[in-house]
Amino acid sequence: MKKIMILGGGQYSKQVFHTLADAGFVTICVDRDPQAPCGALADVFYPVDIMDLEGVCAIARSTHTDGIMAINDFGTRTASYVAGELSLAGLPIETVDAANDKGRMRDVWSKQGLAQPQYRVFKTLEELKEMTEQIGFPCVVKPTESGGGGRGVSVLRSPDDIAWAYQFAQPYVRNGRFIVEEYVEGIEMTIESFSNGGEVTILAMSDKAKPDLRTRVATSLNYPAAFSRVILKQVRNLVIAAVKAIGVQIGMAHTEVIVASDGPKLVELGARGGGGHIFHTIIEAVSGFNAPVQTARILTGMQVTIPELTDNGAVYRFFTPSRGILKGVRNLEAAALLEGILDIGLTKNIGDLVGDFENSLQRTGFVVTKGQTREAAIVVADRAESMVEFIVDPC
């Protein structure tokens, strides 16, 4: 039986451990939280920070692990380091550095001539003021590296937004660098891909619904993406080129694109599967490809065969209650019984502030649905969302 070390044991990762156990893998969970939800699901659990390179490497060496899997951005550098030290399958550090730092990422894509917004990297508020004069308004400010989840991302409509955007991003900046980008009007997409020996296979593509908020947090991902075959082919070709340019030779990549009036443009890429339910539930529901198992197989040196992929419907919907203190929730259990529900739940507790869309980590809850078509999955998601009632004290 192959041993796979998984970096991260949070609530959203439970299904990864269940799936790998069912496939016959011995799972080793590493998470700094001694009470990590996945700790009890793994065969072995170590309460160690996944960013502790030497600590994780020592565990991998002592347990004779056959492969190491990062399921979020914070673990990708550690996975790369451990794989290099122990001669395991993995990505080179140059690849994960480019995938984590949006400035480096865009520099790589720029050298390849790939379609993307104009951008500038900066460090200070004064530099941002200069850069916005070059980029123009509206524009987008982000940390170049924040760990994902939309942390510190905002849209600037005028010079009056500059100071606020800088201060909003600053707490999430991990390397002292920010990036300002041209704002591209269009519909955002997420694209999941799997690389095997440099051959990139597109597994699932969604389009996003986003409210007109400064922080631009998505409220729904709908599969498959509703674009013409011509546009979808352009997106596929662009994403494959982007994944190869960054250097993701094996395993998952999660890429985001904006489809503008003049064609698709790259937003960003993560050298791991999509977050939340995407990696372990949605990809398989849409395509029939079991991403956790196939990723574990390729990382432990086993053969991987890409099956004939399907293109079923799925929806990843996020609840949007009004802003206030959560006092109660009604009909969640009833909604869970609807046909086509893959999962439904809350990410906030009674007494928490809800309706504050600072980033994707502040969402209140979710429903994941499936259907033979996109439209069928949307119908189920709409019905579930209409059933669930949030009791909120405004604030």
pLDDT band at 218 (very low <50, low <70, confident <90, very high): confident
Choose the CATH number for 185-311 among 2.40.50.140, 3.50.50.60, 3.30.43.10, 3.30.470.20: 3.30.470.20
Q: What is the CATH number of domain 3-88?
A: 3.40.50.20
Q: Which CATH fold would you assign to the domain 118-182?
A: Dna Ligase; domain 1 (3.30.1490)
CATH classification (class only), 314-394: alpha beta
Rg value, the chain, Cα: 21
Mean pLDDT of 274-298: 98
Which segment of 151-155, 215-219, 228-232, 274-278 scores lowest on mean pLDDT?
215-219
Domain definitions of the chain by residue range: 3-88, 118-182, 185-311, 314-394
Peptide bond between residue 47 and the one before it cis (omega within 30 degrees of 0): no
pLDDT score, position 125: 95
Q: Do domains 3-88 and 185-311 have the same CATH topology?
A: no
Give the list of residues 6+ apart from residue 186 with CB closer than 8 angstroms, or none.
258, 259, 260, 261, 265
pLDDT in tens, 221-261: 999 999 999 999 999 999 999 999 999 999 999 999 999 99
Rounded Cα distance between 120 and 258, Å, is 18
pLDDT tier at 152, thresholds 50, 70, 90: confident
- Residue 212 confidence (pLDDT) above 80: no
Average pLDDT over residues 72-101: 97
Phi and psi based region of residue 197 (left: phi greater than 0; alpha: psi -120 to 50; beta: remaining): left
pLDDT of residue 198: 86
What is the mean predicted confidence (pLDDT) over 326-338? 97
- Least confident segment among 217-221, 340-344, 355-359: 355-359
Whether residue 141 has pLDDT greater than 90: yes
Mean per-residue pLDDT over the chain, rounded: 94
What is the average pLDDT across 176-181? 94
Residue 362 has pLDDT above 90, yes or no: no
- What's residue 117's pLDDT? 97
- What does pTM read for this prediction? 0.94
Of the pLDDT bands very low, low, confident and very high (cuts 50, 70, 90), residue 215 is: low
Average pLDDT over residues 274-288: 97
Confidence band of 210 (pLDDT split at 50, 70, 90) = confident
Name residues whose C-beta falls within 8 Å of residue 190's C-beta, 6 or more positions apart in sequence. Answer: 205, 206, 208, 221, 254, 255, 256, 274, 278
pLDDT for res 375? 98
52 pLDDT above the threshold of 90: yes
* Percent of the chain whose pLDDT exceeds 90: 90
Long-range contacts of 133-137 (CB under 8 A, 24+ apart): 135/180, 135/181, 135/182, 136/182, 137/183
Q: Give 106-121 pLDDT, tens digit per residue.
A: 999 999 999 999 999 9
